[in-house]
Amino acid sequence: MEPVPSGNLPPGFDTSTCRSVYVGNIHPSVTESLLVEVFQSVGPLEACKLIRKEKSSFGFVDYLDRRSAALAITTLHGRQIYGQAIKVNWAYASGHREDTSGHFQIFVGDLSHEVTDATLFDFFSAYPSCSDARVMWDKKNERSRGFGFVSFRNQEDAQNAINEMTGKWLGSRQIRCNWAIANSGEDKQDSDNPNAVVLTNGNSGRVEKEPKNLNGESPENNPAYTTVYVGNLAHEVTQAELHRQFHILGAGVIEEVRIQRDKGFGFVRYRTHEEAALAIQLANGKIVSGKSMKCSWGTKPTPPGTVSNPLPPPVSPFQLLPAGYTATELLAYQRQLALSQAAAASGAMAGLLSSGSQAMYNGYPSSSSAQQHLYYN
Over residues 10-66, the pLDDT tens digits come to 666 777 888 999 998 899 999 999 999 999 999 999 999 999 888 889 999 999 999
Answer whether residue 3 shows pLDDT above 60: yes
pLDDT beyond 80 at 272: yes
pTM reported for the whole predicted model = 0.40
Residue 129's identity, in one-letter code, is S
pLDDT tens per residue across span 99-128: 777 889 999 999 988 888 888 988 998 999
In angstroms, the CA 244 to CA 341 distance is: 13
pLDDT at 326: 58
Nearest to 87 by CA among 57, 67, 66: 57
**C-alpha span between 50 and 95 (Å, rounded):** 21
Residue 153, Ramachandran bin (φ over 0: left; ψ between -120 and 50: alpha; else beta)? alpha
DSSP state of 95: G
291 contacts 233 by C-beta, under 8 angstroms: yes
AA identity, residue 120: L
Residues 6+ positions from 124 with CB-CB distance below 8 Å: 130, 133, 150, 161, 165
Which run of H or E residues covers position 77?
none
Which sequence spans correspond to the domains of the chain?
A: 19-91, 97-210, 218-311, 317-342
Give the Cα separation of 227 and 323 in Å (integer): 38
Backbone angles phi, psi at 49, to 5 degrees: -135, 125
User: In sequence order, what are the residues at sequence separation of 6 or more whose Cβ sits closer than 8 angstroms to the Cβ of residue 179?
Assistant: 105, 106, 107, 158, 162, 199, 200, 201, 202
142-149: average pLDDT: 83
Domain 19-91: give its CATH code.
3.30.70.330
What is the mean predicted confidence (pLDDT) over 342-359? 49
Residue 284 burial (CB count, 10 A): 20
Do domains 97-210 and 218-311 share one topology? The answer is: yes
Mean pLDDT check: name the lowest of 20-24, 137-141, 246-250.
137-141
SS3 109: strand
CATH number belonging to domain 97-210: 3.30.70.330
Cβ atoms 89, 15 nearer than 8 A:
no
Q: How many residues does the chain have?
A: 377
347 burial type by CB count under 10 A (0-12 exposed, 13-18 middle, 19+ buried): exposed
| 63 strand-pairing partners | 45
Q: What is the CATH number of domain 218-311?
A: 3.30.70.330
| Cα–Cα distance for residue pair 191/197, rounded to 1 Å | 13
Q: How far is Cα 27 from Cα 80, in angstroms, rounded to an integer? A: 9
* Helix or strand holding residue 301 (H, E): none
Among the listed ranges 164-168, 239-243, 335-339, which one has the minimum average pLDDT value?
335-339
Q: What proportion of the chain, given as a percentage, has pLDDT over 70?
A: 68
